[in-house]
């Protein structure tokens, strides 16, 4: 994180506190407010880079706290237990994101479009939040931990959704993508999928390396294309460009 461009961002659900980071838009006015839900590492250098890209295109960005109390894992050994906790408490993730969105609205002018962008485990939370009836301008998932709706979840989504995935993703394989597409179609949701061939999970993360036999693989080409898609979608749903 670039501490010179961000400040502490607190919110809470009941007695559970969350400590995120708020990054101001690099432009004179804020075109959109984005809640950035990072991968399992939380407020990492990569999350900061994603936020810097978003602030550069005129967004005010709140990097969400995935786990509470500002905890950010610093070891791959922690990924299993932490993601397991998110998977077993999907409703809690939705509540925390709702609180984050409400807090972010206080930081921007009334009527500013709010968008949620989730990477990996953060993508699962963003899509579950969309299923909860969230009234936001848009939802974006990038290299997400995709899941169909859990027990008791609605499948109808009011906001437009953009999902960016790799066809070689072993975390969210094509069978899972097909199941999510079927769910979205059955519910009549406004969802677009952009699939990148020869692309694995964590394709946005340079630290993943480029070994095609690995489970997590960086793809600079897909990462660049995803950023272009994210910028176009934000421009569209925030009303800065026309078209469907």
Per-residue pLDDT of the chain (244 residues; tens, 9 = 90+): 444 478 999 999 999 999 999 999 999 999 999 999 999 888 999 999 999 999 999 999 999 999 999 998 877 788 788 889 999 999 999 999 999 999 999 999 999 999 999 999 999 999 999 999 999 999 999 999 999 999 999 999 999 999 999 999 999 999 999 999 999 999 999 999 999 999 999 999 999 999 999 999 999 999 999 999 999 999 999 986 533 3
Q: What Cα–Cα distance (Å) separates residue 129 from each residue in 3, 8, 93? A: 29, 23, 8
Is the CA virtual torsion 213, 217, 220, 224 positive or negative?
A: positive
Q: What is the pLDDT of residue 151?
A: 93
- Out of 3.40.50.1820, 3.90.1150.10, 3.40.50.300, 3.60.10.10, select the CATH number for domain 3-237: 3.40.50.1820
CA atoms within 13 A on the CB side of 3: 0
Element of type H or E holding 237: helix 220-237
Tell me: the pLDDT tens digits for 21-34?
A: 999 999 999 999 99
Burial of 105 (C-beta count, 10 Å sphere; 0-12/13-18/19+) = middle
pTM to 2 decimals?
0.95
Q: What is the pLDDT of residue 78?
A: 81
Please give the Cα distance from 52 to 69 (Å, whole number): 23
Q: What is the pLDDT of residue 187?
A: 98
Domain coordinates of the chain in residue numbers?
Answer: 3-237
Q: Find, among 156, 157, 138, 168, the residue nearest to 229 by Cα.
A: 138
């Amino acid at each position: 994180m670039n501490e010179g461009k961000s400040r502490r961002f607190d919110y809470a659900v009941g007695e559970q506190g969350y400590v995120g980071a708020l990054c101001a838009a690099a432009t004179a006015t804020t075109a959109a407010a984005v809640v950035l839900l990072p991968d399992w590492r939380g407020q990492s250098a990569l999350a900061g880079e994603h936020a810097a890209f978003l602030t550069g295109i005129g967004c005010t960005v709140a990097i969400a706290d995935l786990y509470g109390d500002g905890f950010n894992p610093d070891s791959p050994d922690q990924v299993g237990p932490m993601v397991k906790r998110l998977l077993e408490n999907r409703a809690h993730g939705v509540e925390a994101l709702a609180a984050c969105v409400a807090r972010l609205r206080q930081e921007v002018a009334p009527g500013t479009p709010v968008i949620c962008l989730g990477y990996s485990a953060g993508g699962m939370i963003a899509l579950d939040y969309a299923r909860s009836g969230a009234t936001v301008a848009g939802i974006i998932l990038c290299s997400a931990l995709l899941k169909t709706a859990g027990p008791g979840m609605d499948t109808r989504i009011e906001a437009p959704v953009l999902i960016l995935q790799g066809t070689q993703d072993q975390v969210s394989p094509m069978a899972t993508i097909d199941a999510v597409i079927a769910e979205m179609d059955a519910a009549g949701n406004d969802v677009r999928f952009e699939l990148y061939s020869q692309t694995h999970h964590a394709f946005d993360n340079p630290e993943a390396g480029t070994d095609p036999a690995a489970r997590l693989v960086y793809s600079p080409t897909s990462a660049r294309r995803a950023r272009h898609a994210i910028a176009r979608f934000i421009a569209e749903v925030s009303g800065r460009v026309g078209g469907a």
